[in-house]
Amino acid sequence: MASSLVHCELIASELNTLTTIQLDEEHQVLFALTNYFLTRIDLTKTSDNSQIICQHNRKAQGEDNENDDYYSQGESDDEMPRESDPFEDSEPSTDDDEETIADRRNWRRYGWRTYKLDNPCSILFLPEENRLVVLNEGVITFMTIDMENGRPFAKGPSMNIFCFDYEIFTQNSIQPWSIAPTATVGLFVFSLLDSTQLYSLDISKESPVIKQMIRTSVAYCPNLLFHSQSNTLFVYDSTQLFAVSLTDGTVATVDFPKLDKEHTISAITTDKMGYVYILTELTIFKCTWTSQLHPVERLEKIDVPPTCAYMVVTKAGTDFYLSDTNAGSIYRCRKVSA
């Protein structure tokens, strides 16, 4: 197995409660899921490159707003009326923080605010459609992001799929955890936070359809990754990895000898050529996949904190982006030339 050194550079920091990241390689953008917000990171800039996604007040723009999510104006307990002048700075006495007050003023004055999420877990970028899939508590949202006057906005109404509308779910709390595409356009597979059951989601129908699929042994926080070259779905947590054939539905345990009690799975990703990359501790293993993983290269001495929990890679497999959840930082890692 070949061995190469990797150099990493910090490209974004101070991202509050950073979890997952996704890469829009065509537009040189990273999308990061942070504390109830989506953040857009411009990879062409070295500073001031992070912006929180916003949304328009479509009612103020004269658009049909019946399906928009409810936005609270944060009225005070005594229901003090708002000033008729949108640029009047007086505010009723509330316990709102400065961020909420600023959001309310922007909504009143300019007709936009930050796009807030309800207990989100993960995101998936669909490059062919230029859309993001966001997993919220009980809701799966499909949305498009566009730049307007130098600021990223959610374009038009988002497509929201409410899990509680489906009788297949009987739990009081439903938290979609991870989602992956399939070889069929409009067909996805997703997992729940605390269940071994996987579900299919078909949005090609007039009304989206959710069905039970298969079960694996991953009972808590099952992460999903689609390997398009073999039509395989990887299901994994930090200590176990399974391969689900989306052709015949068989489930196989994937043995990876580089894993032990000290070396667990931090993240897995794939490139356009079908290579599978596994991040464990401070090493990335580049592997081929047939019916098992076969390491072909070790990318090591990654100079980032060991708390990096998510990884994406460019199509050519040259640049890796790692998110450090503890520090709220994102790193770009590249193989050092010999």
CA 99 to chain centre: 23
Residue 23 phi/psi, 5-degree rounding, is: -110, 125
Cβ count near 25 (within 10 Å):
17
Q: Is the pLDDT of residue 81 over 90?
A: no
- Contact between 250 and 242 under an 8 Å Cβ cutoff? The reply is no
Confidence label for 106 from pLDDT (cuts 50, 70 and 90): confident
Bridge partners of residue 142, in order along the sequence:
133, 159
Amino acid at 292: Q
Q: Per-residue pLDDT averaged across 312-335, rounded?
A: 92
Output the CATH code of domain 2-63+96-335: 2.130.10.10
- Contact between 222 and 193 under an 8 Å Cβ cutoff? The reply is no
Cβ count near 283 (within 10 Å):
17
- Per residue in 324-338, pLDDT (tens digit) is 888 899 999 998 865
- How many angstroms separate the CA atoms of 93 and 107, rounded? 18
What sign for the dihedral angle of Cα 294, 299, 304, 310?
negative
DSSP 8-state class, residue 317: S
- Contact between 238 and 266 under an 8 Å Cβ cutoff? The reply is yes
- How many angstroms separate the CA atoms of 21 and 52, rounded? 14
Confidence label for 264 from pLDDT (cuts 50, 70 and 90): confident
Q: Per-residue pLDDT averaged across 46-70, rounded?
A: 71
Residue 315: in which H helix or E strand, if any? none
- Contact between 131 and 185 under an 8 Å Cβ cutoff? The reply is no
Q: Which residues 6+ apart lie within 8 Å of 316 measured at CB?
A: 271, 272, 273
- The pLDDT assigned to 88 comes to 59
Confidence label for 82 from pLDDT (cuts 50, 70 and 90): very low
- Contact between 30 and 22 under an 8 Å Cβ cutoff? The reply is yes
Q: Per-residue pLDDT averaged across 162-184, rounded?
A: 92
Q: Per-residue pLDDT averaged across 280-306, rounded?
A: 87
Confidence label for 35 from pLDDT (cuts 50, 70 and 90): confident
